[in-house]
Structure 1
Amino acid sequence: MSVILARVDQRLIHGLIVNQWAQALQIKRFMVVDDELSTNEAIKASMRMSKPAGTGMSIINTEKAITNFNAGKYDNQRVFVLVKEPATLIKLIEGGVKIPKVDLGILFNESGRKPVTKFVALDDEERRDLQILEQKNVPLVIQYVPTDPEEPFKA
Protein backbone atom coordinates (compact mmCIF):
# COMPACT_ATOMS: atom_id res chain seq x y z
CA MET A 1 0.00 0.00 0.00
CA SER A 2 2.79 2.42 0.98
CA VAL A 3 2.19 6.20 1.04
CA ILE A 4 -1.38 7.05 2.06
CA LEU A 5 -0.87 10.80 2.39
CA ALA A 6 1.95 13.32 2.44
CA ARG A 7 1.64 16.41 4.63
CA VAL A 8 3.65 19.61 4.54
CA ASP A 9 3.78 20.74 8.16
CA GLN A 10 6.55 22.75 9.79
CA ARG A 11 5.94 21.03 13.11
CA LEU A 12 6.23 17.56 11.53
CA ILE A 13 5.20 15.27 14.44
CA HIS A 14 2.77 16.79 16.95
CA GLY A 15 -0.40 15.94 18.85
CA LEU A 16 -2.83 16.30 15.94
CA ILE A 17 -0.69 14.01 13.81
CA VAL A 18 -0.33 11.19 16.33
CA ASN A 19 -3.76 11.46 17.94
CA GLN A 20 -6.09 12.30 15.06
CA TRP A 21 -4.43 11.68 11.71
CA ALA A 22 -2.89 8.33 12.66
CA GLN A 23 -6.24 6.95 13.71
CA ALA A 24 -8.21 8.42 10.81
CA LEU A 25 -5.75 7.09 8.22
CA GLN A 26 -4.93 3.84 10.07
CA ILE A 27 -1.24 4.64 9.80
CA LYS A 28 1.35 1.92 10.35
CA ARG A 29 4.41 4.14 9.80
CA PHE A 30 5.14 7.82 10.21
CA MET A 31 7.91 8.91 7.89
CA VAL A 32 9.56 12.22 8.59
CA VAL A 33 11.73 13.11 5.59
CA ASP A 34 14.12 15.91 6.44
CA ASP A 35 17.79 16.09 5.48
CA GLU A 36 18.74 18.25 8.46
CA LEU A 37 16.73 16.57 11.24
CA SER A 38 17.76 13.10 10.12
CA THR A 39 21.24 13.76 11.53
CA ASN A 40 20.09 15.10 14.91
CA GLU A 41 19.85 12.12 17.28
CA ALA A 42 18.40 14.14 20.18
CA ILE A 43 15.48 15.46 18.14
CA LYS A 44 14.92 12.06 16.55
CA ALA A 45 14.73 10.42 19.98
CA SER A 46 12.17 12.95 21.22
CA MET A 47 10.08 12.55 18.07
CA ARG A 48 10.07 8.76 18.39
CA MET A 49 8.68 9.05 21.93
CA SER A 50 5.47 10.53 20.49
CA LYS A 51 4.56 7.66 18.19
CA PRO A 52 1.51 5.62 19.12
CA ALA A 53 1.92 1.97 20.09
CA GLY A 54 1.72 -0.35 17.12
CA THR A 55 3.18 2.15 14.66
CA GLY A 56 6.66 2.63 13.28
CA MET A 57 8.52 5.85 12.76
CA SER A 58 11.31 6.68 10.35
CA ILE A 59 13.16 9.99 10.48
CA ILE A 60 15.40 9.86 7.45
CA ASN A 61 16.90 11.99 4.71
CA THR A 62 15.43 12.28 1.24
CA GLU A 63 17.96 9.97 -0.42
CA LYS A 64 17.39 7.17 2.09
CA ALA A 65 13.60 7.56 1.78
CA ILE A 66 13.83 7.19 -2.01
CA THR A 67 16.12 4.16 -1.68
CA ASN A 68 13.87 2.47 0.89
CA PHE A 69 10.66 3.09 -1.05
CA ASN A 70 12.16 1.89 -4.32
CA ALA A 71 13.46 -1.25 -2.57
CA GLY A 72 9.89 -2.01 -1.46
CA LYS A 73 10.70 -1.68 2.25
CA TYR A 74 7.29 -0.13 3.02
CA ASP A 75 5.12 -1.92 0.47
CA ASN A 76 3.00 -3.65 3.12
CA GLN A 77 2.59 -0.57 5.33
CA ARG A 78 0.31 2.46 5.41
CA VAL A 79 2.82 5.30 5.43
CA PHE A 80 2.14 8.94 6.35
CA VAL A 81 4.94 11.11 4.93
CA LEU A 82 5.68 14.36 6.80
CA VAL A 83 7.91 17.10 5.40
CA LYS A 84 8.62 20.74 6.21
CA GLU A 85 8.58 21.98 2.62
CA PRO A 86 7.05 20.95 -0.70
CA ALA A 87 10.50 20.80 -2.37
CA THR A 88 11.17 17.55 -0.48
CA LEU A 89 8.08 15.98 -2.03
CA ILE A 90 9.25 16.94 -5.51
CA LYS A 91 12.55 15.14 -4.85
CA LEU A 92 10.69 12.06 -3.59
CA ILE A 93 8.41 11.96 -6.64
CA GLU A 94 11.30 12.52 -9.05
CA GLY A 95 13.08 9.66 -7.24
CA GLY A 96 10.20 7.30 -7.99
CA VAL A 97 8.09 7.56 -4.81
CA LYS A 98 4.35 7.58 -5.46
CA ILE A 99 2.60 10.38 -3.55
CA PRO A 100 -1.19 10.09 -3.96
CA LYS A 101 -2.11 13.41 -2.34
CA VAL A 102 -0.53 16.32 -0.46
CA ASP A 103 -2.16 17.99 2.53
CA LEU A 104 -0.97 21.45 3.49
CA GLY A 105 -0.89 21.40 7.26
CA ILE A 106 0.77 24.15 9.23
CA LEU A 107 3.10 26.61 7.51
CA PHE A 108 3.64 29.58 9.77
CA ASN A 109 3.23 33.17 8.60
CA GLU A 110 6.91 34.09 8.95
CA SER A 111 10.02 34.70 6.86
CA GLY A 112 8.24 36.59 4.09
CA ARG A 113 5.40 34.14 3.67
CA LYS A 114 1.96 35.40 2.70
CA PRO A 115 -1.15 33.97 4.40
CA VAL A 116 -3.32 31.62 2.37
CA THR A 117 -5.50 30.36 5.24
CA LYS A 118 -5.49 30.62 9.02
CA PHE A 119 -2.80 27.90 9.25
CA VAL A 120 -1.04 28.09 5.88
CA ALA A 121 1.26 30.83 4.61
CA LEU A 122 3.50 30.40 1.57
CA ASP A 123 6.49 32.13 0.08
CA ASP A 124 7.09 32.37 -3.67
CA GLU A 125 9.37 29.31 -3.79
CA GLU A 126 6.87 27.14 -1.91
CA ARG A 127 4.08 28.29 -4.22
CA ARG A 128 6.23 27.41 -7.28
CA ASP A 129 6.99 23.99 -5.78
CA LEU A 130 3.28 23.38 -5.23
CA GLN A 131 2.66 24.32 -8.87
CA ILE A 132 5.23 21.68 -9.87
CA LEU A 133 3.37 19.12 -7.77
CA GLU A 134 0.12 20.12 -9.52
CA GLN A 135 1.84 19.67 -12.89
CA LYS A 136 2.79 16.18 -11.77
CA ASN A 137 -0.94 15.52 -11.17
CA VAL A 138 -0.63 15.32 -7.40
CA PRO A 139 -3.83 16.61 -5.75
CA LEU A 140 -3.24 19.39 -3.22
CA VAL A 141 -5.62 19.91 -0.31
CA ILE A 142 -5.85 21.88 2.89
CA GLN A 143 -7.20 19.93 5.82
CA TYR A 144 -6.08 20.89 9.31
CA VAL A 145 -7.60 17.85 11.07
CA PRO A 146 -9.18 14.77 9.51
CA THR A 147 -12.69 15.79 10.58
CA ASP A 148 -12.44 19.08 8.62
CA PRO A 149 -13.67 19.00 5.03
CA GLU A 150 -10.90 18.75 2.47
CA GLU A 151 -10.43 22.01 0.60
CA PRO A 152 -8.79 21.66 -2.82
CA PHE A 153 -5.82 23.99 -3.17
CA LYS A 154 -4.67 25.56 -6.42
CA ALA A 155 -1.16 26.96 -6.43
Structure 2
Amino acid sequence: MDRQAHYRELKAEIESIVAGETYVPARYASAACLLAEAFRPRFFWTGFYVVDPQKADELVVGPYQGTLGCLRIPFGKGVCGVCAAEQKTQLVPDVHAFPGHIACDSRSNSEIVVPVFDRDGTLAAVLDVDSTEYDAFDAVDQEGLEAICKILLTA
Protein backbone atom coordinates (compact mmCIF):
# COMPACT_ATOMS: atom_id res chain seq x y z
CA MET A 1 0.00 0.00 0.00
CA ASP A 2 1.36 3.42 -0.86
CA ARG A 3 1.69 6.10 1.83
CA GLN A 4 -1.18 8.23 0.51
CA ALA A 5 -3.56 5.29 0.81
CA HIS A 6 -2.11 4.43 4.21
CA TYR A 7 -2.79 7.99 5.43
CA ARG A 8 -6.35 7.83 4.08
CA GLU A 9 -6.96 4.58 5.96
CA LEU A 10 -5.44 6.01 9.15
CA LYS A 11 -7.58 9.13 8.88
CA ALA A 12 -10.73 7.02 8.58
CA GLU A 13 -9.64 4.83 11.50
CA ILE A 14 -8.78 7.79 13.73
CA GLU A 15 -12.01 9.54 12.78
CA SER A 16 -14.08 6.49 13.76
CA ILE A 17 -12.21 6.06 17.04
CA VAL A 18 -12.49 9.70 18.17
CA ALA A 19 -16.07 10.20 16.98
CA GLY A 20 -18.17 11.05 20.00
CA GLU A 21 -15.18 11.20 22.36
CA THR A 22 -15.32 14.50 24.25
CA TYR A 23 -12.06 14.17 26.20
CA VAL A 24 -9.46 15.83 23.98
CA PRO A 25 -6.38 14.09 25.48
CA ALA A 26 -7.97 10.75 24.57
CA ARG A 27 -8.31 11.94 20.97
CA TYR A 28 -4.68 13.05 20.85
CA ALA A 29 -3.40 9.88 22.56
CA SER A 30 -5.25 7.65 20.11
CA ALA A 31 -3.95 9.55 17.09
CA ALA A 32 -0.36 9.59 18.38
CA CYS A 33 -0.46 5.86 19.04
CA LEU A 34 -1.91 4.92 15.66
CA LEU A 35 0.47 7.18 13.74
CA ALA A 36 3.54 6.00 15.64
CA GLU A 37 2.64 2.35 15.13
CA ALA A 38 1.79 2.81 11.45
CA PHE A 39 5.08 4.48 10.53
CA ARG A 40 7.56 2.99 12.99
CA PRO A 41 10.59 3.22 12.82
CA ARG A 42 10.51 6.29 10.54
CA PHE A 43 8.38 8.12 13.14
CA PHE A 44 10.81 8.25 16.06
CA TRP A 45 8.72 10.64 18.22
CA THR A 46 5.03 11.30 17.57
CA GLY A 47 2.87 13.50 19.74
CA PHE A 48 1.14 16.70 20.61
CA TYR A 49 2.12 19.95 22.22
CA VAL A 50 -1.00 21.66 23.49
CA VAL A 51 -1.56 25.41 23.85
CA ASP A 52 -1.43 26.05 27.60
CA PRO A 53 -4.71 27.66 28.69
CA GLN A 54 -2.81 29.49 31.47
CA LYS A 55 -0.10 30.82 29.12
CA ALA A 56 -1.59 31.33 25.67
CA ASP A 57 1.85 31.88 24.12
CA GLU A 58 3.32 28.58 25.28
CA LEU A 59 2.96 24.93 24.34
CA VAL A 60 2.98 22.15 26.94
CA VAL A 61 3.67 18.51 26.15
CA GLY A 62 0.57 16.41 25.64
CA PRO A 63 0.00 12.77 24.70
CA TYR A 64 2.89 11.27 22.77
CA GLN A 65 4.75 8.10 21.79
CA GLY A 66 8.54 8.11 22.05
CA THR A 67 11.38 9.26 24.24
CA LEU A 68 11.06 12.05 26.80
CA GLY A 69 9.72 15.22 25.21
CA CYS A 70 10.39 18.82 26.13
CA LEU A 71 7.88 19.93 28.75
CA ARG A 72 7.26 23.47 27.49
CA ILE A 73 7.99 25.35 24.28
CA PRO A 74 7.37 29.09 23.86
CA PHE A 75 5.66 30.26 20.68
CA GLY A 76 8.29 31.24 18.12
CA LYS A 77 11.01 28.94 19.56
CA GLY A 78 12.07 25.76 17.82
CA VAL A 79 10.10 24.01 15.10
CA CYS A 80 7.00 23.49 17.27
CA GLY A 81 7.01 27.07 18.53
CA VAL A 82 7.37 28.47 15.00
CA CYS A 83 4.49 26.27 13.85
CA ALA A 84 2.36 27.62 16.70
CA ALA A 85 3.32 31.24 16.02
CA GLU A 86 2.83 31.03 12.25
CA GLN A 87 -0.05 28.52 12.44
CA LYS A 88 1.24 26.64 9.43
CA THR A 89 2.98 23.33 8.89
CA GLN A 90 6.74 23.23 9.28
CA LEU A 91 8.55 20.62 7.18
CA VAL A 92 12.21 20.49 8.23
CA PRO A 93 14.60 18.10 6.42
CA ASP A 94 17.52 18.86 8.80
CA VAL A 95 16.61 20.14 12.26
CA HIS A 96 20.26 20.98 12.96
CA ALA A 97 20.07 23.66 10.28
CA PHE A 98 16.82 25.13 11.68
CA PRO A 99 17.49 28.41 13.53
CA GLY A 100 16.70 28.03 17.23
CA HIS A 101 15.96 24.30 17.03
CA ILE A 102 15.21 22.81 20.46
CA ALA A 103 16.83 19.40 20.79
CA CYS A 104 14.53 17.39 23.05
CA ASP A 105 16.36 14.26 21.83
CA SER A 106 19.67 14.58 19.99
CA ARG A 107 18.82 11.56 17.80
CA SER A 108 16.15 13.55 15.91
CA ASN A 109 17.37 14.73 12.52
CA SER A 110 14.21 15.79 10.66
CA GLU A 111 10.77 16.92 11.74
CA ILE A 112 7.29 17.84 10.60
CA VAL A 113 4.97 19.87 12.80
CA VAL A 114 1.30 20.44 11.91
CA PRO A 115 -1.11 22.86 13.61
CA VAL A 116 -4.34 21.53 15.13
CA PHE A 117 -7.29 23.93 15.23
CA ASP A 118 -10.49 23.65 17.24
CA ARG A 119 -13.96 24.10 15.75
CA ASP A 120 -13.68 27.88 16.08
CA GLY A 121 -10.42 27.96 14.12
CA THR A 122 -8.31 28.70 17.20
CA LEU A 123 -4.96 26.96 17.53
CA ALA A 124 -5.37 24.15 20.08
CA ALA A 125 -2.15 22.17 19.64
CA VAL A 126 0.54 21.09 17.23
CA LEU A 127 1.28 17.55 16.08
CA ASP A 128 5.03 16.97 16.19
CA VAL A 129 6.68 14.06 14.39
CA ASP A 130 10.45 13.53 14.53
CA SER A 131 12.65 11.07 12.67
CA THR A 132 16.21 9.88 13.19
CA GLU A 133 16.54 9.98 9.39
CA TYR A 134 17.38 13.18 7.54
CA ASP A 135 14.76 14.39 5.05
CA ALA A 136 12.29 11.77 6.29
CA PHE A 137 9.13 13.75 5.51
CA ASP A 138 7.68 15.10 2.29
CA ALA A 139 4.51 16.49 0.75
CA VAL A 140 2.73 13.13 1.12
CA ASP A 141 3.32 13.22 4.88
CA GLN A 142 2.29 16.85 5.05
CA GLU A 143 -0.97 16.24 3.19
CA GLY A 144 -1.78 13.11 5.20
CA LEU A 145 -0.98 14.60 8.61
CA GLU A 146 -2.82 17.86 7.85
CA ALA A 147 -5.93 15.86 6.89
CA ILE A 148 -5.75 13.91 10.14
CA CYS A 149 -5.23 17.05 12.21
CA LYS A 150 -8.30 18.64 10.63
CA ILE A 151 -10.59 15.94 11.99
CA LEU A 152 -9.08 15.58 15.48
CA LEU A 153 -11.27 18.21 17.09
CA THR A 154 -14.19 18.18 14.67
CA ALA A 155 -15.08 14.48 14.36
TM-score class normalised by the smaller sequence: 0.3 to 0.5
TM-score w.r.t. the length of structure 1 is: 0.34
TM-score w.r.t. the length of structure 2 is: 0.34
Higher RCO (CA < 8 A, seq sep 6+):
1
